[in-house]
C-alpha cells in the first residue's frame, strides 16, 4: 500500500509555499475549498512524477507562477510510505532566462522519470479528460498509451525509441538521403512498431477482461483496435518485413509531407459501450464519463494484480457521478488498498467517506 505522508510545495502554480502532513491511517484524502484555491494544482504537482506533462498536459514552464520572487524556483517534495519503506521524491524546476530545467530526485539522488515509475505511479481522473471520449484518434491513442506506460516500462522506452527514430528518418529524408542509414533506421522503426502494436492489443484484451470480470457494477466498455494496413501480428518476422517495405515505399511522400504517413498512428481505437452496443462517441455526456471511469478503474486493477504501487487522484470526482454511484466508486477503490485523493468544492460532497477520510481545507 502506498501513501503520501508529507507534501512540501514551493512556487508551483498557485502554491507559493505549501506544507501538509497526512495521517497514514487514512487511505482517503479529501481536498476541498472554493474554486480557484488550488485544489487541482495540488494534485497536478503529484502527477508530474508519472507524466512529463502532468494531468493537464502542460509544458513544464507553465508550472512556475508568473509573479514570483527572485529565488522563485519550483520545488515539489513528497515523502511516501510504500512496502514498509519511506520514499522521498523531489521535482525541481529552475529557470535561467528563457530556459527551463527539470530535475528529478529519488531518495536525494538524481534520477529519471522512468526510474520513479519502477517504484510508484500516480493515476488520475479529471474533468480535463472528458474530451477523450468524443475527440479524435490522437487523443484516444495517447490516453491508452500513457496507461500502458504506467504498467509497462518496456513499452514506454520503445515508444520513446520509436519517436526518436521517426524524427531521425525525416531528417535524413530532408537532408542527406543516405540509403544505407535509412535502411538501418527503418529496420529499427519497424521493430519498434511491431512491439508497440502488439503490446497495445495485449493490453486492450487484458483491460477488457478485467472490466467483464471485476467491474460489472460499472458501465461496461470495450477497447478495440483496428488497422486497415495490418492483417495480423502473429508472424513477427513477416510483420516487420511488411512494415519495412511500406516505409520504403513511402519515402517520397514522407519527404514532401515532412511526416511519417505509415506508423503506429495508423491504429484506430474505439471505446465501445457494450451496454448500448455503440461507440462512446455516440453516447450521452454522462455515459461517456462513466465509461472513462470504468477504464481508469480497470487500469488500477491491472496494477494491483501485478503488485505495482500506485496512488489514485480523482479531481472533481463528483462531477463524473451522482451520490449513488459515488458510493459504488468508494466501495470499489477501497479494494485497491492504496491512497485515494479527491477534490471538491464542499466537504458535504463527501459524506459517504465521513470519518474514513483525511480532510484538507484550502482557503
> pLDDT tens digits for 141-159?
999 999 998 878 899 999 9
pLDDT at 67: 56
Ranges for all domains in the chain classified under CATH 1.20.1050.90: 133-307
User: With 90 as the cut, is the pLDDT of residue 351 above it?
Assistant: no
133-307 has which fold? Glutathione S-transferase Yfyf (Class Pi); Chain A, domain 2 (1.20.1050)
Question: For residues 15 and 36, what is the distance between their CA atoms, to the nearest angstrom?
Answer: 11
Residue ranges of alpha helices (H) inside 121-178 are 137-151, 153-174
Question: For residues 154 and 160, what is the distance between their CA atoms, to the nearest angstrom?
Answer: 10
Mean local confidence (pLDDT), 110-137: 90
Tell which wins on pLDDT, 295 or 24. 295
> pLDDT tens digits for 176-220?
888 999 999 999 999 999 999 999 999 999 999 999 999 999 999
Tell which wins on pLDDT, 326 or 340. 340
Mean local confidence (pLDDT), 149-175: 93
Calculate the alpha carbon distances from 63 to 48, 72, 197, 332 in Å. 10, 11, 33, 33
pLDDT at 96: 78
What is the CATH architecture assignment of 1-120+309-363? 3-Layer(aba) Sandwich (3.40)
Closest CA to 189 of 256, 253, 232, 251: 251
By the 8 A CB rule, do 126 and 316 touch? Answer: yes
Residue 296: pLDDT band with limits 50, 70, 90? very high
Per DSSP bridges, beta strands 357-361 and 340-344 are: unpaired
pLDDT at 70: 43
Distance of alpha carbon 61 from the chain centroid: 19
Ranges for all domains in the chain classified under CATH 3.40.50.300: 1-120+309-363
Question: For residues 345 and 36, what is the distance between their CA atoms, to the nearest angstrom?
Answer: 10
Question: For residues 182 and 172, what is the distance between their CA atoms, to the nearest angstrom?
Answer: 7
By the 8 A CB rule, do 223 and 144 touch? Answer: yes
All three cell numbers of 153: 516500462
Mean local confidence (pLDDT), 223-234: 89
User: With 80 as the cut, is the pLDDT of residue 358 above it?
Assistant: yes
Amino acid at each position: 500500500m502506498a501513501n503520501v505522508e508529507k507534501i512540501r510545495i514551493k512556487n508551483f502554480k498557485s502554491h507559493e509555499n505549501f506544507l501538509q502532513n497526512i495521517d497514514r491511517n487514512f487511505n482517503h484524502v479529501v481536498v476541498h475549498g472554493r474554486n480557484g484555491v488550488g485544489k487541482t494544482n495540488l494534485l497536478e504537482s503529484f502527477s508530474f512524477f508519472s507524466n512529463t506533462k502532468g494531468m493537464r498536459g502542460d509544458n513544464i514552464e507553465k508550472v512556475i507562477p508568473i509573479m514570483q520572487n527572485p529565488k522563485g524556483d519550483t520545488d515539489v517534495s513528497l515523502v511516501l510510505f510504500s512496502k514498509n519503506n519511506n520514499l522521498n521524491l523531489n521535482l525541481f524546476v529552475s529557470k535561467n532566462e528563457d530556459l527551463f530545467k527539470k530535475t528529478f530526485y529519488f531518495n536525494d539522488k538524481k534520477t529519471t522519470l522512468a526510474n520513479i515509475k519502477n517504484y510508484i505511479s500516480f493515476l488520475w481522473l479529471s474533468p480535463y479528460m472528458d474530451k477523450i471520449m468524443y475527440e479524435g484518434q490522437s487523443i484516444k491513442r495517447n490516453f491508452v498509451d500513457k496507461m500502458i506506460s504506467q504498467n509497462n516500462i518496456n513499452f514506454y522506452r520503445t515508444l520513446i525509441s520509436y519517436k526518436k527514430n521517426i524524427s531521425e528518418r525525416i531528417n535524413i529524408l530532408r537532408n542527406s538521403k543516405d540509403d544505407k542509414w535509412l535502411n538501418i533506421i527503418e529496420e529499427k522503426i519497424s521493430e519498434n512498431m511491431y512491439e508497440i502494436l502488439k503490446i497495445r492489443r495485449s493490453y486492450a484484451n487484458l483491460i477488457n477482461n478485467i472490466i467483464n470480470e471485476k467491474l460489472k457494477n460499472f458501465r461496461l466498455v470495450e477497447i478495440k483496435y483496428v488497422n486497415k494496413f495490418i492483417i495480423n501480428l502473429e508472424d513477427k518476422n513477416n510483420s516487420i518485413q511488411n512494415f519495412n517495405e511500406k516505409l520504403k515505399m513511402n519515402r517520397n511522400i514522407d519527404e514532401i509531407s515532412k511526416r511519417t504517413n505509415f506508423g503506429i498512428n495508423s491504429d484506430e481505437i474505439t471505446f465501445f459501450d457494450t451496454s448500448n452496443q455503440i461507440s462512446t462517441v455516440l453516447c450521452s455526456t454522462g455515459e461517456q464519463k462513466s465509461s472513462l471511469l470504468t477504464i481508469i478503474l480497470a487500469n488500477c486493477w491491472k496494477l494491483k494484480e501485478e503488485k505495482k504501487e500506485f496512488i489514485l487522484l480523482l479531481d472533481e470526482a463528483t462531477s463524473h457521478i451522482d451520490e449513488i454511484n459515488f458510493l459504488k466508486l468508494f466501495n470499489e477503490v477501497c479494494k485497491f488498498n492504496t491512497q485515494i485523493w479527491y477534490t471538491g468544492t464542499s466537504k458535504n460532497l463527501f459524506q459517504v467517506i465521513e470519518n474514513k477520510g483525511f480532510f484538507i481545507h484550502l482557503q
